[in-house]
Each structure stands twice: as C-alpha cells, then as structure tokens.
Chain A
Amino acid sequence: MKIKIEKLNAWFGKNQALKNVSLAIPVNTVLAVIGPSGCGKSTLVRCLNRMHETIGSAKWEGKIVLDEESIADFDPVTLRRRVGMIFQRPNPFPTMSILENVTAGLRLNGMRNKKELESIAEISLKKAALWEEVKEKLHQPGVSLSGGQQQRLCIARALAVDPEVLLMDEPCSSLDPISTTHIEELIHELREHYTIVIVTHNMQQAARVSDDTAFLYMGDLVEHGATKKLFTNPKEKRTEEYITGRFG
C-alpha cells in the first residue's frame, strides 16, 4: 500500500469535515473520490499532503501513512515534495515564464544548473503532454497559455519535483471537453509511475480513469472499492442513489 488512512477526522473550527475515514491506496493506482458538494472530498486530499492544516482554523486527527511512515512525522516541506498537488483552477505563477513555472519547485530545492533545469523541464512537459505546444515559446509567461494548457503546465510543474503521489482536486472542472480528454489520457499514462488521487464531480470521469473509487457523504466514507464494482453493483443505497443521479 502506498497510502493508508486510518480513522481520519478533520475539522474546520468546530465544523467536522471528515469523520473516521479509513482507506488504503495501492501503489500506482488511481483512486477517484466522489460525493456531493461539501462532503469533504477536497479536505480528504488536502490532508494527504498536509495542506489542510495551512488553513487557520483547520486541524486533523488520525493516522495517515505514506510508505509505512506516518506523515505526521514528516516535515511538511519534504512530504509535499513526495506528494504533489494539482488544483481545481490552474494556478501557474503569473510573474514566471513557462520554463520558470515548470522549474519553480526545483529552483526552490536549490537546483541552479541551467542545463539540468532545462532538461528536466523538457521531460516534465513531455510527461504532461504539453511539450509540443510550448517548446517554441518557453520564455513566454505561463499565463499566456489557454486554461487547459495552463492546467497541464501545472501538472508538469508538479511532476518536475519528482513526486510519488499526485493529488488532483477536480483538475478538469474549469476546462473544456477537449482539454478534459487530454488530462484524462494523461492520467492513464501517469498511473504507470504514480499513485494518483483524483477528486471529481463527474461520474463518467471517475469510471473512466480510476481503479478504485471512494464515495464520501457528509464527511463519512460511505463506500470504497473497485471502481467497476462500485459503479455497477454498489453495496450501499446512498451510493446507488448518488451515482444514478438521484441526489447530489
């Protein structure tokens, strides 16, 4: 198991966003997290790289284990280099060029060698299926790209620091269908080398890209299992109602 979550509880002030969530994510698989708005999907993934606790009132309890090591014992900075994150809205750094954006994490790590930076940037952009579109204009601002390209730029930026886990919080929700297809294809390729957790509102997307699915409802993990099974033969009534669109 790449990640094990045991009895995870998370709060914003007094409001409990996750209640006793336990699940495990095998290495190099894709876990889709689904559920109605406000059910705690973002909170769950943000706990995995300890981004949750950067919000003033937020706290969490329980155990999250990455490769046999509790993430509470990590320095968050080290943890976040191993657990990369893609956000709902593409968020390239507006003051940086495409190249600078991709290498931002490496430069933070202290890498200065220009050749090395450029070659890693190229590899990362290729992995993110963006290289062909930007190789002629690496020095233009990252924000000059289209939304879908910006999102792939952010994926390249996350990949450049060589993480093992990728957290994606609704990575396609601000994108058009073609860009969405691009990103989904990308997830198919990335799953060979990375463990991926993707939050999505789109059932078809969850069914298309994931191995396992977790269904959250009001902070509870209602059901978790192989995607095929969960979508064709859910155990819980609430899961069935949700995936058939009867609420949510």
Chain B
Amino acid sequence: MRADFIFEKTTKVFAFLSVAIVSLMGFLLLMESWPSIQQSGFLFLIKKVWDPVIHDYGALPFVYGTLVSSGLALIMAIPLSLGVAIFLSELAPYYLRRPIAFLVELLAAIPSVIYGLWGLFYLVPLLREKVEPFFIDRFGFLPFFEGPPYGIGMLPAAILLAIMIIPIISSISRDVMQAVPQHQREAALALGATRWETTRVAVLRYGKSGIFGAIFLGLGRALGETMAVTMVIGNRPDISLSLFAPSHTMASVIANEFAEASSDLYLSALAEIGLVLFLVTFLVNMIARLLVMKTAKPFAAV
C-alpha cells in the first residue's frame, strides 16, 4: 500500500514535471521574444525584410521557407511512405516484412547531420550539374525553375526532409494498417475484392484518421528539422518561387544566426521565430496524436 502510494506520487510528479518543463520553455521563449513582439506585433510574421544591420526584422521569408520546404517534402514523402506502408502491411511476403520494416525504421535513427553531409556531398552536386541545368534548359520559363543552378536551395532541403520523414510516416501508417482487424480484409475479399480493392476499402478507409495522424507527425518533424536543412538550403532570407533558389527556414535561421546575434532586439526576433515554431509544431503534433489515438479505438458502436 505504502509503496503504491509512493509510486503513484513519484510518477505523478514526473508527469507533472514534463508538462511544467514544456510550459516553462514556452514561457521563457515568450519572455525572450517580448521586445520583438512589442516592436512589431503581428506584422513580424508577414514582413518580408530581414535585415539585422538596420534592425529590421520580418519573419515572412522563414515562415515561407518552412512551409514550402515542408509542403514539398510531404508531397514527395506521402505517396512513397504510403506505398512502403501498404507494401509492408499488405503485400510483401511474410519473411520480408520484418527485415524491411526494420531497415526503414533504421533510417529514422540516422542523425540528421549525416543526411546533411550526404546532401552536401552527393545530392547538391548532382542537382547542380545534372538535374537543375536540365530543368532550367527545358522549363526555365516557369517561375519554379528560374535562376542559376546553385545546387543548394529549396529543392535539396525538401528532398532531404522527405527522406527524413518517410520512416515516420511509413512506420506509423504501417502500424495503423496492421491494427485493422483481419476480419475487415476478409469481409472485402469474400465479396470478390482484389488485393488493391481490399486495401482501399477495408484497410485505408478504416485507418484513414490514423494515416492522417502519421502524415501530421511527419509534418511536425519536417517543420522543426534544423541541421540537415541548414546545411543545404543556402540560408538566404529571400522569398522565391524557384525551387532552385537559396532559401531559409525558421529552424535554420535560428541555428545560423543565434551565435552572431549582436543586439538584444536581434536575439529577441530570433526568439520570436522560435516561439512561433514551438507553437506550430506543438499544435501539429497534438493533432497528429489525436488522430492516431482515434484509430486505436475507432468505431465504438454509435
């Protein structure tokens, strides 16, 4: 009894502590960013100019860079991840499922600086010498393929992000698909559904919200990813439609400029970017968890 009491109290303290730490972080960020918030208010988020020299701080280029790089990463990662998940959960021969799932999950364990290095040494030169000239040649008239082939820029950042979130999205959607009861698949098969129809009707539909949750978790990771992106994105606070242009994200500007931020307002502006990123990723992850939770006990009789 007494041991139970202590056990309950200590776990309660730890649970409370983790909530307290997160709240404290949010609060400290708010404190730090207060001067900047006072200076420019909501304008901060939609102002295009970021010029520390003249103390002009607008976060729009970073917001834009974060949204676009994450969005592009999702566009690339969703079909691939769902393909991997469907393959692993529905199609692959049984003896292949575990090893492949294991390898895919291993991808998530690689430190992001390694992805960054791979990006710098392999991906960026490839883009600079082969891919980008090709597109500029043929489709250079489109705004998405404008400008010189730097190699670094939005495109490699988005590709790295996509590779980095594929393991999360695919392993969680695979878990969701595995949680679909076998009797649902058999119901579809017994009606004469093909394998693909069974996957669509019985598996994807049943696990829909969980799969959205998996996608949101991937998004949460992409929004906050710092190291690999900083290494390849070019770190220039410009807003350009071109995939080949150097860009910047909220995470990368903090990592890049924090050490050299010379004035209080500069620091405060970076902190405000951090605050926004904190809130957004918090929200995205919360939505993701709720969605995944919903498929854990999805269809209690109404």
Contacts and interface: CB of A to CB of B under 8 A. Distances in A.
A85 B93 CA distance: 25
Nearest to B205: A95
Interface in A74-124: 77-78, 80-81, 84-85, 87, 89, 91-95, 104-105, 108-109
B189 A80 contact: yes
Indicate the size class of the contact surface on chain B.
20 to 34
A47 interface: no
Given A77-B192, A77-B194, A94 B187 contact: no
Contacts of A85: 186, 190
A154 B186 CA distance: 12
Nearest to A87: B183
A143 interface: yes
B298 interface: yes
A99 to B, nearest CB: 15
A77 B190 contact: no
B302 A141 contact: yes
Interface in A194-242: none
A54 B302 CA distance: 32
A4 interface: no
Interface in A41-65: 49, 51, 54, 56-57
Contacts of B183: 87, 89, 91
B217 to A, nearest CB: 22
Indicate the size class of the contact surface on chain A.
20 to 34
B277 interface: no
Given A93-B205, A94-B298, A80 B187 contact: no
Contact of B192 (A92, A105, A140, A154): A105
B191 interface: yes
B191 A105 contact: yes
A157 interface: yes
Contacts of A108: 188, 191-193, 197, 201
B97 to A, nearest CB: 9
A37 interface: no
Interface string B175-205: 0000001011111111111100100011001
B186 A80 contact: no
Interface of A: 49, 51, 54, 56-57, 77-78, 80-81, 84-85, 87, 89, 91-95, 104-105, 108-109, 140-141, 143-144, 154, 157-158, 161
Interface of B: 93-94, 181, 183-194, 197, 201-202, 205-206, 208, 298-299, 301-302
Given A141-B299, A144-B302, A154-B187, 18 more contacts: A54-B185, A57-B94, A80-B189, A91-B181, A91-B183, A91-B186, A94-B298, A94-B299, A95-B205, A95-B206, A104-B191, A105-B193, A109-B192, A143-B299, A157-B187, A158-B190, A158-B191, A161-B191
